[in-house]
């Protein structure tokens, strides 16, 4: 199983600040996904990146896939309390003809007013 | 369209017991995956079913098993529960289970083993 390392593990910032979360692996992924999970709920997909070097924007969130498709970053501009949650990156892998997601351990973000 | 539903939402069991968790996927979705989420290990893949067949299995002991029915609903069973099985069990469904599919997660079942 390919390992995905996320950093930082915890992040506490004030409203209006910018932040970047990193997701790194020694393996190449055909695609990488970012999810956000709020307490008591399952993860919700934010974005899927497929092409090396790809950059996708979702309002104040910017996602980048590394050129070698081994790493990704999530940048949040002017964070708001509503951005609070657990951010997870996941790479897909195929084994025994079945599909699965390999998740990083996540970055827990707290944005205070 | 209704989302992925999981029942029960909370469960308390004692060591040695067994437990069955249920997952109803989004209508039309044929792939169902199960994940275990713990603070220490994060989300770990358990298994994936497609059209009643297990296509993929994660690195978990044989005490963890599952099945999928003809209507795509899925159950997972854990026998001889251990304290370390306490976790949030998440189910995700997608159309066919592929890189181009979106995985939709349910809210999870919180299992506590005493």
**Structural contact between residues B88 and B18, judged by C-beta atoms closer than 8 angstroms:** no
Give A77 to chain B, closest Cα distance, Å.
Answer: 25
The edge-to-edge listing of strands for the beta sheet with B19-24 is B5-7, B19-24, B74-78, B64-68
If 0-12 CB within 10 Å is exposed, 13-18 middle and 19+ buried, where does residue A53 land? exposed
Give B110 to chain A, closest Cα distance, Å.
Answer: 9
Q: What is the pLDDT of residues A28-51, one digit of tens each?
A: 888 899 999 998 899 999 999 989
- Three-class DSSP category at B38: strand
**B57 contact residues in A (CB cutoff 8 A):** 96, 98
Q: pLDDT at position A89, please?
A: 96
The CA-based angle A108-B110-B86, given to 5 degrees, is: 90
Residues of chain A with pLDDT under 70: 1-2, 94-98
Q: What is the pLDDT of residues B19-57, one digit of tens each?
A: 999 999 999 999 999 999 999 899 999 999 999 999 989
For residues B89-106, average pLDDT = 90
Residues 12-41 of A with CB under 8 A from B: 30-31, 33, 35, 40-41
> Taking CB atoms and an 8 Å limit, are B50 and A100 in contact across chains?
no
Residue B18 sits at φ, ψ, to 5 deg, of -120, 160
Whether A106 and chain B come into contact, CB under 8 Å, resolves to yes
pLDDT(B81) > 90: yes
> Taking CB atoms and an 8 Å limit, are A101 and B103 in contact across chains?
yes
Burial B37-72 (b: 16+ CB within 10 A, else e): beeeebbbbbbbbbeeeebbbbebeeebbbebeeeb
């Amino acid at each position: 199983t390919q390992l995905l390392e996320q950093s930082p593990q915890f992040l506490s910032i004030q409203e209006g600040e910018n932040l970047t979360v990193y997701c790194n692996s020694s393996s190449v992924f055909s695609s990488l996904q970012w999810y956000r999970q709020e307490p008591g709920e399952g993860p919700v997909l934010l974005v899927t990146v497929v092409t090396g070097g790809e950059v996708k924007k979702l309002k104040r969130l910017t996602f980048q896939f590394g050129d070698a498709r081994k790493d990704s970053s999530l940048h949040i501009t002017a964070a708001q309390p509503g951005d609070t949650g657990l951010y997870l990156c996941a790479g897909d892998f195929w084994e025994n003809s079945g599909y699965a997601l390999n998740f990083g351990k996540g970055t827990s973000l707290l944005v205070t007013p | 369209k209704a989302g992925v539903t999981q029942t029960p939402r909370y469960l308390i069991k004692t060591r040695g017991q067994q437990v069955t968790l249920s997952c109803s996927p989004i209508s039309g979705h044929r792939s169902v995956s199960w994940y275990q989420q713990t603070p220490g290990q994060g989300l770990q893949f358990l298994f994936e079913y497609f059209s009643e067949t297990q296509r993929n299995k994660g690195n978990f002991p044989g005490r963890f098993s599952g099945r999928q029915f003809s209507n795509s609903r899925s159950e997972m069973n854990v026998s001889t529960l251990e304290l370390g099985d306490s976790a949030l069990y998440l189910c995700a469904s997608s159309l066919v289970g592929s890189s181009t599919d979106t995985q939709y997660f349910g809210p999870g079942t919180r299992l506590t083993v005493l």
